[in-house]
Structure 1
Amino acid sequence: MRPSDLCSEQEISAMVRSFYDAVRQDEQLGPVFNTFVGDWEYHLLKLTDFWSSILLGSGRFRGTPMPKHVALPNLNAQLFERWLALFREATAAQPNRAMGEQAYETAQRIAESLWYGYQISRRPETVPTELQHG
């Protein structure tokens, strides 16, 4: 299957918006995201570009997620695990099952990478821990 056959831009946008609606309302993640995201519409468009680049190979995303996440104070494994749990719920609810499965598999790798990077930047002398994904 070619990447362009996996899903449409509209499906990606719907997934991103659905997921971040849940994040914004979540007891654990909402306060973090709502504190650090100043312009939600801009953020959602950027994340749609990110997922379009991953799922469709559009190449629209320009950015460096790692430094932005490393700069956030007081992140922990539970927050990354909660992010993944909400992402799993959002992708499972998508009518396009293939897109949802591919997005979730990718999100697992992204969350692990960001969590490892965060730990290494904050505590380089310790061995990074893994996330628990249910």
Structure 2
Amino acid sequence: MPDSSYAAPRPSLCTEEEVILLVHAFYARVRADAQLGPVFEAHVEDWSAHLALLIDFWSAMLRGTRRFRGAPVQRHMRLDGLDEAMFARWLALFRQTTAALGNAPMQQLANEMAERVAATFLARYRDARG
């Protein structure tokens, strides 16, 4: 059973540098992945801007910062051809990345948040596609 003391985002969970490392390492894996890489490369025009937005997102999710501005669900609904296997692969790569970072409390919360994000995106994507 997960340790509930790790369940809430908080600044002491991880440093901003750890968030940056998580995002950069994870998306390096995604971009190199045979299944996900082509999807991301087809839709991300400016990787620097995209990574900065994702750092803000994960900083909010893990550290409770409030600088993220965006509508990620709506943006992903515009993409064609996503399927459950892609979301599962995304989660697998995410878990590999968090496991390699060496911060167990961060890993636990990040993985929980990633699972929620993937489930929400997949459910809404399916609903939008009928």
Identity of aligned residues (%): 46
Query: What SS does the aligned partner of 2:45 have?
Result: coil
The amino acid of 1:102's aligned partner reads L
**Normalised by the size of structure 1, how large is the TM-score?**
0.89
The amino acid of 1:87's aligned partner reads F
Distance in 2 (CA, whole Å) between partners of 1:11 and 1:66 is 25
Distance in 1 (CA, whole Å) between partners of 2:92 and 2:103 is 19
Partner of 1:107: 114
Identify which of 89, 104, 110 aligns with 1:97: 104
Query: What SS does the aligned partner of 1:84 have?
Result: helix
Structure 1 gaps, min length 5? 124-134
Distance in 2 (CA, whole Å) between partners of 1:96 and 1:9 is 13
Matched, 1:3 2:10: yes
Q: Counterparts of 1:36-115 in structure 2 under 5 Å?
A: 36-115=43-122
| Residues 15-65 of structure 1: CA deviation (Å, up to 9, x unaligned) | 000000000000000000011000111111100000001111111100111
Identify which of 20, 23, 45 aligns with 1:16: 23
Give the drift of 1:81.
0.5
Structure 2 gaps, min length 5? none
Between 1 and 2, higher relative CO (CA 8 Å, sep ≥ 6) is seen in 2
Runs of 4+ in 1 over 2 A off after TM superposition: none
**Normalised by the size of structure 2, how large is the TM-score?**
0.92
Distance in 2 (CA, whole Å) between partners of 1:63 and 1:40 is 16
Distance in 2 (CA, whole Å) between partners of 1:104 and 1:122 is 27
Give the drift of 1:98.
1.0
